[in-house]
Amino acid sequence: MTKSVESKVVENKVVEHKLSAKSLIIFDWDGTLMDSIGLIVTAMHVAAGAQGLTTTDDEVKAIIGLSLMCGIEILFPDITDEQRQTLQADYADYYIANSHKTPFFLGIELMLQTLIAQGKRLAVATGKKRAGLERVLTASGSRDYFVSTRCADESGSKPDPQMLLDVLQETGHNIADAVFIGDSIHDIQMAKALGMTSIAVNYGAATAAVLAAEDPTYQLASPQELIDLLTTTSNITAT
């Protein structure tokens, strides 16, 4: 599913949503580039269960994209600070021990290489902590694909748009030059806060209906649709 797009006015400027005109492509990480949603959900269940706490898969998916501590506070608002710290540590221990089970979605790494060959600059804005992102960048061998990366412990948790502003400042791009791609409502809300072109992908944390309610510029059903949309030279044009 690909949504039709429009020109939008941001700070009295018309933002063109044609993707071939975008020189900076900013990605969320978990559930957008990397197939890690299942591991995130399991890690939270394991960490919570160790303290006699329970939550559902859908509740965990709903906090993906936020910083880990922010997500824990939403899932378990009545626990103590000590319990929150223990949950965070137990979650991290389980996730790190099993992170070898989280590859890129099929075709995504070739897409990144193709975009770079087409002259695009790539960046990451993620709810991960810096240490976690550094670990997966190293494990996946993908560090050199990205000219800028920002994490929740550096710029604030989504949907605060500060991490996008930081990426724009570091790379010297304007809002109109960029597109942000993510799989959660927090991702789309972050892009919309700046009037930035957004692409919602349905194959990660949130359902198609939940993402559609956030009115992303584009909405796609599969990694292959994302690959096709970003790498074609004749992207859908704003009407």
- What is the residue-level pLDDT of the chain in tens, covering all 239 positions? 555 444 444 444 445 678 988 999 999 999 999 999 899 999 999 999 999 999 999 999 999 888 889 999 999 999 999 999 999 999 989 988 888 778 999 999 999 999 999 999 999 999 999 999 999 999 899 999 999 999 999 998 899 999 999 999 999 999 999 999 999 999 999 999 999 999 999 999 899 999 999 999 999 999 999 999 999 854 544 33
pLDDT on residue 239: 32
> Would you say how long the chain is, in residues?
239
For residue 131, count other CB atoms closer than 10 A to its CB: 11
SS3 of residue 146 by DSSP: strand
pLDDT on residue 2: 56
Here the tokens at position 84 are 């929150």
Q: Hey, what domains does the chain have and what are their CATH numbers? A: 8-35+104-231 (3.40.50.1000), 37-101 (1.10.150.240)
pLDDT on residue 237: 44
pLDDT on residue 3: 56
pTM, 2 dp = 0.85
Rounded distance between C-alpha atoms, residue 40 and residue 95, angstroms: 7
Torsion of Cα atoms, 83 then 85 then 91 then 95, to 10°: -170
pLDDT on residue 14: 44
pLDDT on residue 158: 93
Rounded distance between C-alpha atoms, residue 98 and residue 103, angstroms: 11
Distances (CA, A) of 20 to 83, 119, 123, 227: 48, 11, 17, 13
pLDDT on residue 12: 40
SS3 of residue 125 by DSSP: strand
